[in-house]
Structure 1
Amino acid sequence: MLPFHALRRARRATLAVLAALALAALALPGPARADDAPARPLTAQEQAFLKQAEGYLNTFRMAKARFIQTASTGETLSGTLALARPNRLRMNYDPPSPLTLVANGTHLIYIDAKMEQVTYIDLDTTPLSVFLADRISFADPAITITNVETSDKRVEVTLHMTKDPGIGSLTLAFDREPLALAGWRVLDAQGISVTVSLFNIDRNPTLDPDLFVYRRPDPRNLPR
């Protein structure tokens, strides 16, 4: 079992994911960052890629994958991700981590079983709500695209919530050939960066709806 200080560092890294995805609530607003500069005009090639990426993301309603999460603070965690659009996501962290992240259609829920702590954030206040929308559109006015960075093998699309540009950003990473979602990177107002890399993606699997439901455990059934 991980020592307490290691669990606390792991929890901080996962809180960074939650904070950056939420772009609020768990971190105090900070000054605007370079990532959050006003959007530059996109080139025709970049606009074409965004349309292509939209088409790819809208070809599947459900997905399952393994992930590795790495924080700029040095922590690394792994686990399994399940996604069901609209507005449902679950990140199960491998033992001995006590952490779980659930989007249940309305809220983004962070569960720390060891600390017996549960945190709720309105899903529609997060850029994750755009990614989990019934139909994904990079032209959604709720988000602002600040950068499209292209290399030989990868394209990264950075965005923030239009109404709150100074408190964090989300970067979606795509492999180019064949086109596939490779993961994402989040940056919160405190400068903590967390990268989630996806592996073995299964598109449109059969998923149990209960994966995306969080029920508080009955205190009478908790170990004493």
Structure 2
Amino acid sequence: MKAATRLFSALVSAGALAGCAVNGMEGLSTPQQREAHRVEAALNRPVTLEGHFVQMGPGQNGGAGHFSYRPGALALDYVSPHPMTLRASGTHLVLDDKQTGAVTRVSLARNPLGLLLHIPVRFTGAIRVTDIRATPGAAQISLAESDNPSQGLLTLQLIETKSGLQLASLDGVDARGNRIVLSLSEVIETGASPKN
């Protein structure tokens, strides 16, 4: 169970490794603010995304399985290293290790994964955009808690699809330097997300 818990600690506690507290999009250029609003719109689209994920880190830990994301909720169903489920929504993350029977409940307060799961996601107030970059067909945005940016960094990568920007990866580094990356593939939209 210790290894399974470590698999999530980096992502769950990720925030921004940046200096002083800055709210929202302060310091971003007008084009960067426009791109940040496009990312907000993509994360708030009332659809459910499903597909496969591969997890790298922290350390030698990793995993793979099926994921689903809808505004306000992330679900990971692991097939490797062994069957586990992770459900994150509202104020908590719950990890159910099918091999050991252990269930771990972790607060999503004060960590960027929790900020990603706000309904709606808004890059103002509590969420600080520390960096944003756009290239043809893709966008990358780094997020932190405005009032506690030293907790880590969460970077989202999105790719352009026929329906707009779509989440492609989550990359979290916690305050201790532990890193976890979830790479998403074969992503499809399964229709309107249920109302929360």
Using the size of structure 2 for normalisation, the TM-score is 0.79
User: For the structure 1 residues 120 and 13, does the alpha-carbon distance in structure 2 shift closer, same or farther, using more than 3 Å as the test?
Assistant: closer
Alpha carbons 2:7, 2:62 under 8 Å: kept: no
**Which residue pairs with 2:166 in the alignment?**
180
**Which residue pairs with 1:144 in the alignment?**
128
- C-alpha separation in 1, matches of 2:175 and 2:27: 25
Alpha carbons 1:13, 1:194 under 8 Å: kept: no
Letter of the aligned partner of 1:66 in structure 2? H
How many residues matched? Answer: 189
**Which residue pairs with 2:7 in the alignment?**
14
Larger helix percent: 1
User: For the structure 1 residues 195 and 165, does the alpha-carbon distance in structure 2 shift closer, same or farther, using more than 3 Å as the test?
Assistant: same
Alpha carbons 2:66, 2:76 under 8 Å: kept: yes
Larger Rg computed on CA atoms: 1
1:58 and 2:40 correspond:
no
User: For the structure 1 residues 163 and 113, does the alpha-carbon distance in structure 2 shift closer, same or farther, using more than 3 Å as the test?
Assistant: farther
Structure 1 ranges of 4+ moved more than 6 A:
206-209
Letter of the aligned partner of 2:154 in structure 1? L
Task: Give unpaired runs (5+ residues) of structure 1.
Answer: 1-6, 25-32, 210-224
1:129-151 CA distance string (max 9 Å, x none): 33222222112x11111111344
Using the size of structure 1 for normalisation, the TM-score is 0.70
- C-alpha separation in 2, matches of 1:168 and 1:22: 7
Residue number among 177, 189, 193 corresponding to 1:203 in the alignment: 189
User: For the structure 1 residues 46 and 176, does the alpha-carbon distance in structure 2 shift closer, same or farther, using more than 3 Å as the test?
Assistant: farther
**Which residue pairs with 1:3 in the alignment?**
none
1:155-204 CA distance string (max 9 Å, x none): 21111122322122211111246532111101112211111111122224
Q: RMSD in angstroms over aligned alpha carbons?
A: 3.0
Letter of the aligned partner of 1:166 in structure 2? S
Alpha carbons 2:42, 2:165 under 8 Å: kept: yes
Task: Give unpaired runs (5+ residues) of structure 2.
Answer: none
Query: Which structure has more RCO (C-alpha within 8 Å, separation ≥ 6)?
Result: 2
**Which residue pairs with 1:222 in the alignment?**
none
1:166 and 2:161 correspond:
no
- C-alpha separation in 2, matches of 1:170 and 1:98: 26
Letter of the aligned partner of 1:154 in structure 2? A
- C-alpha separation in 2, matches of 1:13 and 1:123: 16
